[in-house]
Amino acid sequence: MDDQKKLESIIDTLMEHDELTAPSADFTKKIMLSIAAIEKNKTIVKPLFSQRAWLITAAAVALCVYFTFNLSGSNPITTEYLSGFNDFNTWLSKYALNFKVSKALVSSIVITGLMVCLQMFLLKKHFDRRFA
C-alpha cells in the first residue's frame, strides 16, 4: 500500500511539469500522404481467364456436346451414337490394358510429381514473403 502511494506521488510530480502535446499542424497531411503511397504500391491481381474467355469456352464446349449427340437432327440421343463407346471399351480391353510400364518410368513420374509439389510450395512461400 505504501509503495502505491509513493508511485502515485512520483507520477503526480511528473505530470505537473509535463505539458499536453498536440500533433503538428501537418500531421493529418503526412498520414494521408503515407496512405496514398501505400495505395500506389498495391499489387493488382487480375484473374487468369476473363469472364469473356470463360463464356467463349463454355459456348465451345456446349456446341461440341450438342453436335456430338445430335448429328442426325431430330432424334438427339439414340443407341447408335453410344456404339462408339462399345468400340472404345473393346479397344481398351484389347490394347491399353496389356500395356506394361517399367519401374523406372513410374519412379521418374512420382519423383517429378513430388519435385513439382515442392517447387510450388517454395515459390508460394517466396512470393508471400516478397509481397507481404
More confident call, 3 vs 18: 3
The ranges assigned to domains in the chain are 43-99, 101-132
Q: What is the DSSP letter of 43?
A: P
The pLDDT value recorded for residue 125 is 86
Q: What cell does 120 get? A: 510450388
Q: pLDDT by residue (tens digit) across 93-120?
A: 666 666 677 888 888 989 999 999 899 8
Q: How far apart are CA 85 and CA 109, in angstroms?
A: 29
CA distances from 8 to 5, 17, 102 (A): 5, 15, 83
Calpha distance 19→8 (Å, rounded) = 18
The pLDDT score that the predictor gives to residue 55 is 92
| CB distance 81 to 71 below 8 Å | yes
Is this structure's pTM higher than 0.85? Answer: no
The count of residues in the chain is 132
- How many whole angstroms separate alpha carbon 9 and alpha carbon 20? 19
**Structure-block grid coordinates of residue 118:** 515442392
Mean pLDDT score across all residues of the chain = 78
Mean pLDDT to the nearest integer, 84-101:
66
Helices (H), 70-102: 79-94
